[in-house]
Protein backbone atom coordinates (compact mmCIF):
# COMPACT_ATOMS: atom_id res chain seq x y z
CA UNK A 1 0.00 0.00 0.00
CA UNK A 2 1.38 3.42 -0.94
CA UNK A 3 1.74 6.20 1.57
CA UNK A 4 -0.98 8.18 -0.22
CA UNK A 5 -3.46 5.30 0.10
CA UNK A 6 -2.60 4.88 3.78
CA UNK A 7 -3.23 8.58 4.42
CA UNK A 8 -6.54 8.57 2.55
CA UNK A 9 -7.64 5.60 4.69
CA UNK A 10 -6.54 7.47 7.81
CA UNK A 11 -8.44 10.56 6.62
CA UNK A 12 -11.60 8.46 6.17
CA UNK A 13 -11.15 7.09 9.70
CA UNK A 14 -11.00 10.64 11.05
CA UNK A 15 -14.26 11.48 9.27
CA UNK A 16 -15.89 8.35 10.72
CA UNK A 17 -14.64 9.37 14.15
CA UNK A 18 -16.54 12.61 13.74
CA UNK A 19 -19.80 10.87 12.90
CA UNK A 20 -19.80 10.53 9.09
CA UNK A 21 -20.78 7.17 7.62
CA UNK A 22 -18.18 6.12 5.04
CA UNK A 23 -18.31 2.54 3.76
CA UNK A 24 -15.05 0.93 2.51
CA UNK A 25 -16.12 1.19 -1.13
CA UNK A 26 -16.19 4.99 -0.79
CA UNK A 27 -12.51 4.95 0.19
CA UNK A 28 -11.68 2.88 -2.90
CA UNK A 29 -13.66 5.38 -4.97
CA UNK A 30 -11.68 8.26 -3.42
CA UNK A 31 -8.36 6.61 -4.30
CA UNK A 32 -9.54 6.04 -7.87
CA UNK A 33 -10.64 9.69 -8.09
CA UNK A 34 -7.24 10.93 -6.89
CA UNK A 35 -5.56 8.70 -9.44
CA UNK A 36 -7.67 10.36 -12.13
CA UNK A 37 -7.32 14.02 -11.14
CA UNK A 38 -3.78 13.83 -9.77
CA UNK A 39 -2.34 15.55 -6.71
CA UNK A 40 -0.73 18.56 -8.37
CA UNK A 41 -3.38 21.01 -7.10
CA UNK A 42 -4.80 21.13 -3.58
CA UNK A 43 -8.21 22.17 -4.94
CA UNK A 44 -8.37 19.02 -7.09
CA UNK A 45 -7.53 16.81 -4.10
CA UNK A 46 -10.26 18.50 -2.05
CA UNK A 47 -12.83 18.18 -4.84
CA UNK A 48 -12.01 14.51 -5.50
CA UNK A 49 -12.23 13.52 -1.83
CA UNK A 50 -15.35 15.61 -1.25
CA UNK A 51 -17.17 14.09 -4.24
CA UNK A 52 -16.23 10.58 -3.12
CA UNK A 53 -16.76 10.74 0.65
CA UNK A 54 -19.47 13.37 1.30
CA UNK A 55 -23.04 12.21 0.69
CA UNK A 56 -24.98 15.20 2.03
CA UNK A 57 -24.66 18.97 2.11
CA UNK A 58 -24.99 19.00 5.90
CA UNK A 59 -21.63 17.14 6.17
CA UNK A 60 -19.71 19.55 3.92
CA UNK A 61 -18.65 22.10 6.61
CA UNK A 62 -17.39 19.28 8.84
CA UNK A 63 -15.52 17.69 5.91
CA UNK A 64 -13.90 21.03 5.01
CA UNK A 65 -12.73 21.56 8.58
CA UNK A 66 -11.19 18.09 8.89
CA UNK A 67 -9.60 18.40 5.44
CA UNK A 68 -8.02 21.73 6.39
CA UNK A 69 -6.51 20.29 9.58
CA UNK A 70 -5.56 16.86 8.24
CA UNK A 71 -3.83 18.13 5.10
CA UNK A 72 -2.54 21.22 6.92
CA UNK A 73 0.79 21.69 5.11
CA UNK A 74 0.49 24.63 2.63
CA UNK A 75 3.07 22.87 0.41
CA UNK A 76 0.99 19.70 0.36
CA UNK A 77 0.87 19.38 -3.41
CA UNK A 78 4.60 19.37 -3.85
CA UNK A 79 5.12 16.99 -0.92
CA UNK A 80 2.46 14.63 -2.22
CA UNK A 81 4.01 14.66 -5.64
CA UNK A 82 7.54 14.15 -4.37
CA UNK A 83 7.15 12.16 -1.15
CA UNK A 84 3.44 11.25 -0.91
CA UNK A 85 3.52 12.04 2.81
CA UNK A 86 1.26 14.78 4.20
CA UNK A 87 2.19 16.73 7.31
CA UNK A 88 -0.46 16.34 9.97
CA UNK A 89 0.54 18.97 12.53
CA UNK A 90 -0.42 22.50 11.68
CA UNK A 91 -1.83 25.75 12.95
CA UNK A 92 -5.56 25.94 13.39
CA UNK A 93 -7.49 28.56 11.53
CA UNK A 94 -8.98 31.06 13.96
CA UNK A 95 -12.31 30.96 12.16
CA UNK A 96 -13.25 27.37 12.89
CA UNK A 97 -16.29 25.88 11.19
CA UNK A 98 -19.46 25.41 13.27
CA UNK A 99 -18.80 21.71 13.85
CA UNK A 100 -15.51 22.39 15.69
CA UNK A 101 -16.34 19.93 18.49
CA UNK A 102 -16.73 17.11 15.98
CA UNK A 103 -13.55 18.19 14.18
CA UNK A 104 -11.58 18.14 17.42
CA UNK A 105 -12.82 14.62 18.17
CA UNK A 106 -12.09 13.48 14.62
CA UNK A 107 -8.50 14.69 14.73
CA UNK A 108 -7.90 13.15 18.14
CA UNK A 109 -8.09 9.74 16.47
CA UNK A 110 -4.54 10.25 15.12
CA UNK A 111 -2.94 11.18 18.44
CA UNK A 112 -4.85 9.20 21.04
CA UNK A 113 -2.88 6.40 22.66
CA UNK A 114 -4.42 2.97 23.15
CA UNK A 115 -5.07 2.15 26.78
CA UNK A 116 -5.92 -1.12 28.46
CA UNK A 117 -9.68 -1.65 28.56
CA UNK A 118 -11.35 -0.81 31.83
CA UNK A 119 -12.68 -3.77 33.77
CA UNK A 120 -16.43 -4.11 33.90
CA UNK A 121 -16.40 -3.56 37.64
CA UNK A 122 -14.50 -0.29 37.14
CA UNK A 123 -16.71 1.02 34.36
CA UNK A 124 -18.29 4.38 35.12
CA UNK A 125 -21.45 5.75 33.58
CA UNK A 126 -20.40 8.98 31.82
CA UNK A 127 -23.61 10.63 32.98
CA UNK A 128 -22.67 9.96 36.62
CA UNK A 129 -19.31 11.75 36.21
CA UNK A 130 -21.00 15.03 35.28
CA UNK A 131 -21.35 17.82 37.79
CA UNK A 132 -24.69 19.57 38.26
CA UNK A 133 -23.63 22.48 36.03
CA UNK A 134 -22.23 20.24 33.29
CA UNK A 135 -25.42 18.17 33.31
CA UNK A 136 -27.46 21.32 32.85
CA UNK A 137 -25.23 22.44 29.98
CA UNK A 138 -25.48 19.00 28.39
CA UNK A 139 -29.28 19.07 28.67
CA UNK A 140 -29.36 22.38 26.79
CA UNK A 141 -26.70 21.55 24.18
CA UNK A 142 -27.96 21.49 20.60
CA UNK A 143 -27.80 18.03 19.00
CA UNK A 144 -26.09 19.59 15.97
CA UNK A 145 -23.09 20.74 18.05
CA UNK A 146 -22.57 17.52 20.04
CA UNK A 147 -19.58 15.28 19.55
CA UNK A 148 -20.30 11.64 18.59
CA UNK A 149 -19.76 10.47 22.18
CA UNK A 150 -22.07 13.18 23.54
CA UNK A 151 -24.67 12.33 20.91
CA UNK A 152 -24.44 8.68 21.92
CA UNK A 153 -25.16 9.58 25.55
CA UNK A 154 -28.02 11.86 24.45
CA UNK A 155 -29.57 9.00 22.49
CA UNK A 156 -29.36 6.73 25.55
CA UNK A 157 -30.96 9.33 27.80
CA UNK A 158 -33.65 10.13 25.24
CA UNK A 159 -34.74 6.48 25.09
CA UNK A 160 -35.52 6.59 28.85
CA UNK A 161 -37.72 9.71 28.86
CA UNK A 162 -41.42 9.45 29.76
CA UNK A 163 -44.17 9.63 27.10
CA UNK A 164 -45.35 13.12 26.05
CA UNK A 165 -49.02 12.35 26.79
CA UNK A 166 -50.97 11.84 29.97
CA UNK A 167 -52.74 8.51 30.66
CA UNK A 168 -56.49 8.59 30.16
CA UNK A 169 -59.08 7.00 32.40
CA UNK A 170 -60.89 4.06 30.83
CA UNK A 171 -64.54 3.25 31.37
CA UNK A 172 -63.77 -0.15 32.87
CA UNK A 173 -62.47 -0.48 36.44
CA UNK A 174 -59.89 -2.99 37.55
CA UNK A 175 -60.15 -5.14 40.71
CA UNK A 176 -57.69 -4.10 43.43
CA UNK A 177 -56.81 -5.25 46.97
CA UNK A 178 -57.93 -1.96 48.50
CA UNK A 179 -59.76 1.19 47.52
CA UNK A 180 -63.36 2.02 46.65
CA UNK A 181 -65.88 -0.81 47.08
CA UNK A 182 -67.39 -1.99 43.81
CA UNK A 183 -71.01 -2.58 44.88
CA UNK A 184 -72.02 -4.27 41.63
CA UNK A 185 -69.25 -6.88 41.76
CA UNK A 186 -69.76 -7.38 45.51
CA UNK A 187 -73.44 -8.23 45.06
CA UNK A 188 -72.70 -10.39 42.04
CA UNK A 189 -70.30 -12.50 44.14
CA UNK A 190 -72.68 -12.67 47.12
CA UNK A 191 -74.19 -16.13 46.23
CA UNK A 192 -70.68 -17.59 46.30
CA UNK A 193 -70.03 -16.34 49.85
CA UNK A 194 -71.23 -18.54 52.73
CA UNK A 195 -72.31 -16.69 55.86
CA UNK A 196 -70.53 -13.43 55.01
CA UNK A 197 -70.40 -10.75 52.38
CA UNK A 198 -66.87 -10.16 51.03
CA UNK A 199 -66.47 -6.68 49.53
CA UNK A 200 -64.77 -6.33 46.15
CA UNK A 201 -62.57 -3.28 45.70
CA UNK A 202 -61.99 -1.57 42.37
CA UNK A 203 -60.05 1.39 41.00
CA UNK A 204 -60.16 3.29 37.71
CA UNK A 205 -58.07 1.77 34.95
CA UNK A 206 -55.69 4.03 33.02
CA UNK A 207 -53.88 3.63 29.72
CA UNK A 208 -51.77 5.82 27.49
CA UNK A 209 -53.52 6.99 24.31
CA UNK A 210 -51.93 6.16 20.94
CA UNK A 211 -48.93 8.15 19.73
CA UNK A 212 -48.33 8.45 15.99
CA UNK A 213 -45.08 10.11 14.81
CA UNK A 214 -44.23 11.26 11.29
CA UNK A 215 -40.47 11.90 11.23
CA UNK A 216 -38.63 13.89 8.54
CA UNK A 217 -35.30 12.20 7.69
CA UNK A 218 -34.05 14.65 5.06
CA UNK A 219 -30.50 15.97 5.20
CA UNK A 220 -31.27 19.07 7.26
CA UNK A 221 -33.11 17.03 9.90
CA UNK A 222 -30.86 13.95 10.25
CA UNK A 223 -29.09 14.78 13.53
CA UNK A 224 -32.33 15.69 15.26
CA UNK A 225 -34.37 12.77 13.97
CA UNK A 226 -31.68 10.24 14.91
CA UNK A 227 -32.02 11.23 18.57
CA UNK A 228 -35.81 11.41 18.32
CA UNK A 229 -35.95 7.88 16.89
CA UNK A 230 -34.13 6.64 20.01
CA UNK A 231 -36.74 8.49 22.06
CA UNK A 232 -39.58 6.88 20.10
CA UNK A 233 -37.91 3.46 20.36
CA UNK A 234 -37.95 3.79 24.15
CA UNK A 235 -41.65 4.67 24.05
CA UNK A 236 -42.51 1.82 21.66
CA UNK A 237 -40.69 -0.66 23.90
CA UNK A 238 -42.67 0.40 26.99
CA UNK A 239 -46.04 1.31 25.47
CA UNK A 240 -47.80 -0.73 22.81
CA UNK A 241 -49.73 2.01 21.02
CA UNK A 242 -46.85 3.79 19.27
CA UNK A 243 -46.68 4.01 15.47
CA UNK A 244 -43.73 5.66 13.72
CA UNK A 245 -43.34 6.59 10.05
CA UNK A 246 -40.32 8.18 8.38
CA UNK A 247 -40.47 10.30 5.26
CA UNK A 248 -38.03 12.02 2.97
CA UNK A 249 -38.98 11.29 -0.59
CA UNK A 250 -41.18 8.30 0.39
CA UNK A 251 -43.25 7.32 3.43
CA UNK A 252 -42.03 4.23 5.36
CA UNK A 253 -43.59 2.44 8.34
CA UNK A 254 -40.77 1.61 10.81
CA UNK A 255 -42.95 0.73 13.82
CA UNK A 256 -42.07 -2.95 13.80
CA UNK A 257 -38.31 -2.27 13.81
CA UNK A 258 -38.65 -0.09 16.94
CA UNK A 259 -40.04 -2.98 18.98
CA UNK A 260 -36.59 -4.55 19.40
CA UNK A 261 -35.35 -4.30 22.99
CA UNK A 262 -31.86 -3.26 21.82
CA UNK A 263 -31.97 0.35 20.57
CA UNK A 264 -28.97 -0.08 18.26
CA UNK A 265 -30.46 -3.19 16.66
CA UNK A 266 -33.70 -1.24 16.20
CA UNK A 267 -31.83 1.57 14.41
CA UNK A 268 -30.12 -0.96 12.16
CA UNK A 269 -33.54 -2.37 11.30
CA UNK A 270 -34.72 1.13 10.35
CA UNK A 271 -31.64 1.64 8.18
CA UNK A 272 -32.47 -1.56 6.30
CA UNK A 273 -36.07 -0.46 5.71
CA UNK A 274 -35.45 3.19 4.84
CA UNK A 275 -33.80 4.08 1.54
CA UNK A 276 -34.17 7.88 1.52
CA UNK A 277 -31.95 9.01 4.41
CA UNK A 278 -30.40 12.48 3.96
CA UNK A 279 -32.27 13.02 0.70
CA UNK A 280 -34.80 15.63 -0.34
CA UNK A 281 -38.19 16.31 1.24
CA UNK A 282 -41.59 15.62 -0.28
CA UNK A 283 -43.63 16.68 2.71
CA UNK A 284 -46.97 17.20 0.99
CA UNK A 285 -46.80 13.92 -0.95
CA UNK A 286 -45.85 11.98 2.18
CA UNK A 287 -48.67 13.49 4.24
CA UNK A 288 -51.14 12.78 1.44
CA UNK A 289 -50.03 9.15 1.34
CA UNK A 290 -50.33 8.88 5.12
CA UNK A 291 -53.78 10.47 5.07
CA UNK A 292 -54.99 8.14 2.32
CA UNK A 293 -53.49 4.83 3.46
CA UNK A 294 -52.79 5.01 7.21
CA UNK A 295 -54.69 7.80 8.96
CA UNK A 296 -58.00 5.96 9.32
CA UNK A 297 -56.23 2.95 10.87
CA UNK A 298 -53.88 4.61 13.34
CA UNK A 299 -55.43 7.98 14.26
CA UNK A 300 -58.11 6.66 16.58
CA UNK A 301 -58.66 6.38 20.32
CA UNK A 302 -57.56 9.96 21.19
CA UNK A 303 -54.33 9.59 19.22
CA UNK A 304 -51.71 12.35 19.36
CA UNK A 305 -50.00 13.04 16.02
CA UNK A 306 -46.36 14.21 16.32
CA UNK A 307 -45.15 15.80 13.10
CA UNK A 308 -41.35 16.16 13.22
CA UNK A 309 -40.13 18.37 10.38
CA UNK A 310 -38.75 21.83 9.59
CA UNK A 311 -41.72 22.35 7.26
CA UNK A 312 -39.64 22.87 4.11
CA UNK A 313 -41.05 21.03 1.10
CA UNK A 314 -39.26 20.46 -2.19
CA UNK A 315 -42.46 19.80 -4.18
CA UNK A 316 -45.45 21.40 -2.48
CA UNK A 317 -48.95 20.46 -3.64
CA UNK A 318 -51.70 23.02 -4.19
CA UNK A 319 -54.03 21.05 -1.88
CA UNK A 320 -51.47 20.78 0.93
CA UNK A 321 -53.67 22.84 3.24
CA UNK A 322 -56.62 20.49 2.76
CA UNK A 323 -54.43 17.45 3.48
CA UNK A 324 -53.09 18.90 6.73
CA UNK A 325 -56.56 20.07 7.80
CA UNK A 326 -57.95 16.56 7.23
CA UNK A 327 -55.21 15.06 9.43
CA UNK A 328 -55.93 17.62 12.13
CA UNK A 329 -59.63 16.71 12.16
CA UNK A 330 -58.89 13.00 12.41
CA UNK A 331 -56.28 13.23 15.20
CA UNK A 332 -57.15 14.13 18.79
CA UNK A 333 -54.22 16.57 18.76
CA UNK A 334 -51.55 17.45 16.18
CA UNK A 335 -48.22 18.69 17.53
CA UNK A 336 -45.56 20.15 15.25
CA UNK A 337 -41.99 19.55 16.49
CA UNK A 338 -39.58 21.82 14.62
CA UNK A 339 -35.87 22.33 15.50
CA UNK A 340 -35.94 25.73 13.77
CA UNK A 341 -38.17 27.08 16.54
CA UNK A 342 -35.06 27.36 18.72
CA UNK A 343 -34.16 30.52 16.77
CA UNK A 344 -35.72 33.73 18.10
CA UNK A 345 -36.05 35.14 14.60
CA UNK A 346 -37.94 32.19 13.15
CA UNK A 347 -41.04 33.19 11.19
CA UNK A 348 -43.45 30.95 9.23
CA UNK A 349 -42.74 32.41 5.77
CA UNK A 350 -42.56 29.32 3.52
CA UNK A 351 -45.98 28.14 2.25
CA UNK A 352 -45.71 24.71 3.90
CA UNK A 353 -44.63 26.26 7.21
CA UNK A 354 -47.61 28.63 7.17
CA UNK A 355 -50.02 25.73 6.64
CA UNK A 356 -48.56 23.71 9.51
CA UNK A 357 -48.53 26.74 11.84
CA UNK A 358 -52.18 27.38 11.07
CA UNK A 359 -53.37 23.82 11.75
CA UNK A 360 -51.10 22.55 14.55
CA UNK A 361 -52.43 22.52 18.10
CA UNK A 362 -48.93 23.18 19.42
CA UNK A 363 -45.58 24.20 17.95
CA UNK A 364 -42.52 23.11 19.93
CA UNK A 365 -38.75 23.17 19.38
CA UNK A 366 -37.05 19.78 19.41
CA UNK A 367 -33.30 20.44 19.36
CA UNK A 368 -31.92 19.28 22.72
CA UNK A 369 -32.61 16.95 25.64
CA UNK A 370 -34.30 19.70 27.63
CA UNK A 371 -36.89 20.23 24.89
CA UNK A 372 -37.57 16.47 24.83
CA UNK A 373 -37.82 16.35 28.60
CA UNK A 374 -40.23 19.31 28.69
CA UNK A 375 -42.42 17.95 25.90
CA UNK A 376 -44.90 16.31 28.26
CA UNK A 377 -45.27 19.41 30.45
CA UNK A 378 -45.60 21.68 27.42
CA UNK A 379 -48.37 19.58 25.87
CA UNK A 380 -50.19 19.55 29.19
CA UNK A 381 -50.18 23.35 29.34
CA UNK A 382 -51.03 24.15 25.74
CA UNK A 383 -54.17 22.28 24.75
CA UNK A 384 -55.76 24.70 22.26
CA UNK A 385 -54.83 26.13 18.91
CA UNK A 386 -51.68 28.31 18.85
CA UNK A 387 -52.21 32.05 18.97
CA UNK A 388 -49.88 34.88 18.05
CA UNK A 389 -48.63 35.02 21.64
CA UNK A 390 -47.97 31.26 21.90
CA UNK A 391 -46.38 30.52 18.52
CA UNK A 392 -43.11 29.82 20.26
CA UNK A 393 -43.93 27.70 23.29
CA UNK A 394 -40.45 26.93 24.59
CA UNK A 395 -37.25 28.94 24.44
Query: What b-and-e string marks burial along 287-300, b requiring 16 or more CB atoms within 10 Å of the CB?
Result: bbbbbeebbeebbe
Return the pLDDT at 101. 56
Return the pLDDT at 182. 79
Return the pLDDT at 102. 56
Return the pLDDT at 41. 84
Q: Measuring CA to CA, how many Å separate 98 from each of 17, 65, 95, 144, 281?
A: 17, 9, 9, 9, 24
- Give the pTM: 0.62
Contact of 78 with 300, CB cutoff 8 Å: no
Return the pLDDT at 384. 45
Q: How many angstroms separate the CA atoms of 5 and 27, rounded?
A: 9
Q: How many angstroms separate the CA atoms of 215 and 228, rounded?
A: 8
Return the pLDDT at 8. 86
Which residues partner with 307 through β-bridges? 214, 336
Query: What b-and-e string marks burial along 202-224, b requiring 16 or more CB atoms within 10 Å of the CB?
Result: beeeeebbbbbbbbbbbbbbbbb
Q: How many angstroms separate the CA atoms of 239 and 257, rounded?
A: 14
Return the pLDDT at 152. 79
Return the pLDDT at 306. 92
Q: What is the pLDDT along the chain (395 residues), one digit of tens a residue?
A: 477 788 888 888 888 877 777 888 888 888 888 888 888 888 888 888 988 888 777 678 888 888 887 876 544 444 444 444 343 334 444 344 445 555 655 655 444 433 444 443 334 344 445 555 666 677 777 777 777 777 778 888 887 887 887 777 777 777 887 778 877 877 777 777 666 777 888 887 778 888 999 999 887 787 788 888 888 988 888 888 899 999 988 899 999 998 888 888 888 888 888 888 877 788 889 999 999 999 999 998 788 899 999 887 766 778 888 999 999 999 988 999 888 888 777 777 777 788 888 888 888 888 888 888 888 777 765 544 443 333 443 33
Q: Where in the chain is the domain with CATH 3.40.50.410?
A: 211-390
**Superfamily per CATH, domain 211-390:** von Willebrand factor, type A domain (3.40.50.410)
Amino acid sequence: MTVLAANVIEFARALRKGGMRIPPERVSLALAALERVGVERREDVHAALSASLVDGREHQPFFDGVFQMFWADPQLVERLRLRLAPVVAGKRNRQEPPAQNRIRVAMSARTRTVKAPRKESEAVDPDMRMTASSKQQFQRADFETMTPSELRLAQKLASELPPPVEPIRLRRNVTTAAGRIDLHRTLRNAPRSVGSLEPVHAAPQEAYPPIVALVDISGSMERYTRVLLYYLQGLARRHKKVKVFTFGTVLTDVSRALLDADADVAMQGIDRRVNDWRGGTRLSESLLQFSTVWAKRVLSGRATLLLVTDGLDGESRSDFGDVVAALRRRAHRMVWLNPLLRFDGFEPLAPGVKVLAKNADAMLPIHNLRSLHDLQQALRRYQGRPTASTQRLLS
